[in-house]
């Protein structure tokens, strides 16, 4: 079995799949909706040279179980925390992409004692705007349409799929490929139900329903990095710029040639930025008095 091959652990009666590689300080990579730990395959090997890398398949995604139950940000954050503890680690640098960014944000203020650094990559939860494709999937009856979108014959017709997604504003090839690949997983009824429950917990027809902007002041006490693709047509880069302005001391890196998946579009730069950020910052270490003060002041 390769060092970063899929492993499994049972947590609270359900199987959680994850990748683990390397040794050293812990870095947890949290993927986005309809994605899996595979979204980090281009960066895990290099990170593992210096860090312990843990990349779970979130509940309802990838090779993890897809039970009926709670798919809120809080539930996902709790599962990531529990997996970390079960693997013998108390604290980590959390890197979250898209939905995973919202989960990392949730984890940083739900379990701040676990968070050494916070890295958000084209993150959800920082503004109202989100792509029409995601908003449409929250509409009543979307469960009846999703099996058609997931049909192999549609996705295999690359030009047709590209034309359909292009009309929804997706212009970067990687974005087209990853969204099509993600939707191909929705032919499974359990995965489809998990997707709808997860999406509706954070998005509604008018846009994102979860906005963590009023809690970003909490990130002032944690080394905080934002990475964003300039060409992201799913969650606009303006969300990253606004969050950066709200948090003194935060860092913002905009990747000019990337869309929604900078870890795939520009993996070498992604690694350089992430490793430099870790090397140049001290991990947050908050005592209980400091935690109480953070949550009672604004």
Q: Quick check: 284 pLDDT over 80?
A: yes
Given 141, 176, 204, the domain boundary residue is 204
Query: Which residue among the candidates 64, 232, 233, 250 is catalytic per the annotation?
Result: 232
Judge whether 61 counts as a catalytic residue: no
Same domain, 27 and 85: yes
Are residue 20 and residue 48 in the same domain, yes or no? yes
Domain for residue 1, yes or no? no
Domain for residue 172, yes or no? Answer: yes
Same structural domain, 115 and 235: yes
Output the domain CATH number for residue 287.
Answer: 3.40.50.1820
- Compare 274 and 68 and report the one with higher pLDDT: 274
Percent of the chain with pLDDT over 90: 55
pTM of the model: 0.87
Catalytic site includes residue 98: yes
User: According to the model, what pLDDT value does residue 148 have?
Assistant: 45
Residue 215 lies in a domain: yes
42 domain residue, yes or no:
yes
Could you tell me the pLDDT band of residue 290, with boundaries at 50, 70 and 90? low
Q: What pLDDT, on a 0 to 100 scale, did the predictor assign at position 212?
A: 73
Residue 157 has what pLDDT?
A: 43
Domain termination site, one of 165, 185, 204: 204
Q: Three-state SS across the chain?
A: CCCCCEEEEEECCEEEEEEEECCCCEEEEECCCCCCHHHHCCCHHHHCCCCEEEEECCCCCCCCCCCCCCCCHHHHHHHHHHHHHHCCCCCEEEEEECHHHHHHHHHHHHCHHHEEEEEEECCCCCCCCCCHHHHHCCCCCHHHHHHHHCCHHHHHCHHHHHHHHHHCCCCCHHHHHHHHHHHHHHHCHHHHHHHHHHHHHHEECCEECCCCHHHHHHHHHCCEEEEEECCCCCCCHHHHHHHHHHCCCCEEEEECCCCCCHHHHCHHHHHHHHHHHHHCCCCCCCCHHHHHHHHHCC
Which structural domain range is residue 142 located in? 132-204
Q: Are residues 177 and 91 in the same domain?
A: no
- The active-site residue, picked from 35, 64, 98, 123, is 98
Q: Point out the domain boundary residue: 174, 189, 204.
A: 204
Q: What is the pLDDT of residue 297?
A: 52
Given the residues 46, 201, 260, 265, the one annotated as active site:
260
pLDDT reported for residue 160: 44
pLDDT digits (tens, 9 = 90+) for 134-167: 766 666 655 544 554 445 444 444 444 445 555 5
Same domain membership, residue 54 and residue 147: no
Total structural domains within the chain = 2
Whether 116 is in a domain gets the answer yes
Answer yes or no: is 158 within a domain.
Answer: yes
Each residue's pLDDT tens digit, 95-133: 999 999 999 999 998 899 999 999 999 998 888 777 766
């Amino acid at each position: 079995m390769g060092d970063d091959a899929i492993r499994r652990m049972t947590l609270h009666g359900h199987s959680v799949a994850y990748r683990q590689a390397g040794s050293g300080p812990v870095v947890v990579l949290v993927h986005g909706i309809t994605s899996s730990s595979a979204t980090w395959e281009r960066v895990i090997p290099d990170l593992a040279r210096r860090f312990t890398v843990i990349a779970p398949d979130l509940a309802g995604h990838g090779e993890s179980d897809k039970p009926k139950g709670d798919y809120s940000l809080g539930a996902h954050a709790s599962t990531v925390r529990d997996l970390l503890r079960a693997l013998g680690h108390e604290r980590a640098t959390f890197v979250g992409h898209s939905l995973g960014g919202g989960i990392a944000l949730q984890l940083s203020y739900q379990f701040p004692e676990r968070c050494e650094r916070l890295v958000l990559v084209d993150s959800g939860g920082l503004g109202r705007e989100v792509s029409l494709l995601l908003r449409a999937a929250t509409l009543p009856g979307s469960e009846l349409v999703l099996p058609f979108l997931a049909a192999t014959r549609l996705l295999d017709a690359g030009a047709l799929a590209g034309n359909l997604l292009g009309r929804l504003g997706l212009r970067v090839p990687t974005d087209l490929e990853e969204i099509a690949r993600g939707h191909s997983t929705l032919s499974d009824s359990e995965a489809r139900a998990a997707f709808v429950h997860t999406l509706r917990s954070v998005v509604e027809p008018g846009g994102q329903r979860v906005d963590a902007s009023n809690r970003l002041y909490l990130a002032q006490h944690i080394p905080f990095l934002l990475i964003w693709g300039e060409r992201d047509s799913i969650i606009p880069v303006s969300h990253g710029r606004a969050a950066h302005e709200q948090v003194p001391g935060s860092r913002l890196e905009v990747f000019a040639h990337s869309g929604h998946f900078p870890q795939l579009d520009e993996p070498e730069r992604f690694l350089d930025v992430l490793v430099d950020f870790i090397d140049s910052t001290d991990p947050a270490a908050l005592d209980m008095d400091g935690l109480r003060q953070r949550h009672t002041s604004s």
